[in-house]
A and B are shown apart, each in its own frame.
Chain A
């Protein structure tokens, strides 16, 4: 129902001049009032600035309801803060509509300002069936904007056992009651309550071969049952049977704390309705366990007739989408084939499709991506599979269709669906072009063939080692036996011995020098007592004495030098002079040619030496 000049679902209104007008007004005020105006200006400007593209969306809190329920419908207008009139909604002829109020909103998200109005309605169905509700039409600034449509399925109210009646009860329904193996059925638990409850926990019955998976978040709404209004909390589960047979699902148990107003025997000031607020602690809470009625389902075996050979156990309704990009490439480059298998059912059984081998083409499979989604209608999802195809030669390549088989629960028979056959043309690769370019003598940077990450297609251990060479006795073991330790300590010991030897030798040299010093006088006296020494020999013996006694190594020694040395070592001058004179006489003998004659000392040399020896420091 589109009208000329109206874009479906959105219009762009005139820009208001409110901002400019407000600034002008502010300038005419006194400075003291300016601050107040500016601070409030923010709240006034923002909604003006927030006006933009207007759109309307309609939302129902459920897709399925019973005749006893009331469904919440919200019509949200984005991009405007007021409308010319209330929205008109098509398709509500068989519903009783109650207004739930209007609220305007202003949001600032990441600096983007958006304003909007929400119209809330509660609709109560008058008869069963599937109804299309919408679109909602709303006039803003003289332009009509339309919303989306929604589908609502209304079923008869569930039969509730007598025991379940009262201000608080739990019901369980299973729909449908007859399914095929691996087909999902919806198990719905509803908590009807007229009092406040908290701390709700649910214990699902455990049943072999049956698996439960919660669908979305619990819903909360109002419903009428047996003429009484209830607040309903609804939780849905997808139930799947893994093997055939009738199943009886035991009652589910819901544990919760129930709050009931405290009854008073007489009126007190606290009987005011204010104090009966259930959020205050004036009501008492008590734990309670509610049980639902049992539910029954029959799981039928999948028919053997017509079962395809490649059937992997997939049950539900599925579609296959595929695309190949690009369809024209060069040899060595890659094209990507993407296949999306999606639908409702046991999506965890979505198979990994296998790409057949293509001539002259390398195929690299990407890791399939499985996405599982749940909503109030059940479990669904998709699996995305990608292959990189790298042709080696030029030409036209054909990709055969990839097929998948499943049991379609809608038509209750097996189906096979496949991708469309694809073709792609391959031009000569870069190598040839580069060759041609080289021939023309042009220098240009050319890239090699497209590099693809090496993908691991499988893993295993590596083969055993069979070389006899490897079987030599292990060298990995640490030092064993005494020999390695001896080898380790031997260099140190050798060094130690050498060090000590050197040290000892040094000490021994010192000792021998000391001994020589001590014996020097004795040696000279002994020589003197032997007698018949020539002047030359005697001079040499005295020089040897002085060298040994004083630790010198003088080759020649004049009488004067001998005197000075003795003086420096603390010998009295008289003794030093006497030895000097004696040495002088000997030297005279030597220089006068009597050096080899027997020397007549004329001096008690041993006594003089003893005297000098004592005086030396």
Chain B
């Protein structure tokens, strides 16, 4: 049963558009699935390999701009961005890894934080190349209806899930976790830590970048502040995985579900809505204290909590 869980969920998700959901709900569901891809990407690097990044907006934005720029400069469909973002992100991850992965722990996290900001400022100022703060707009979106966007992002998410599952259950997965737990010990056990950290970074960057390329096509408009922001992308990515469960298969998807719906809910509330970032901050603190392993990781703790309440 447990083995078929991913397939059952996939089947249910495939049938979801038939339920005749409103365009708004479909939009939210698409965002949830997109965020699970980003979360899965972050989780591979931060959760399994232990290299916590506060700059995943850098990868997301590069993917989005890879799609946007081929449309803007070459006049070809931005959908090619889904493919183009793979080599672009692999190459840039190699460069980023070469610089940032020399650092450990908090220093690595800080360097990635800087990276996202550097790219945001760069994208805003290379006006001739990126159109600066005016952003890139796709003149005509491919579909008005959301169904096809939904299926495309679903395929991307299913592919990402399969990739993560395959990788983490292989030798690479063991090596990633070994590096997370003790880099020096891993090194003396014959693990080329630099190589495997770079592999984790590349995979993570590519997944996040592909999600970015999808975002360009789906939203039809990007500018530096929407795809490279520290808070709305980088921090939310960390939160999605923290809330869902670090280093778990379902954590990113669960976290995306909770975070996106919560964000919509809080934002739509009168008066409180403006303070949604504050509320998210408080939520994060509560999660870290009471569910340090996230919803997926501390599932047993949660169910126990509810079971205890029932007889009373």
Determine if chain A interacts with chain B.
no
| Chain B contact residues, CB within 8 Å of chain A | none
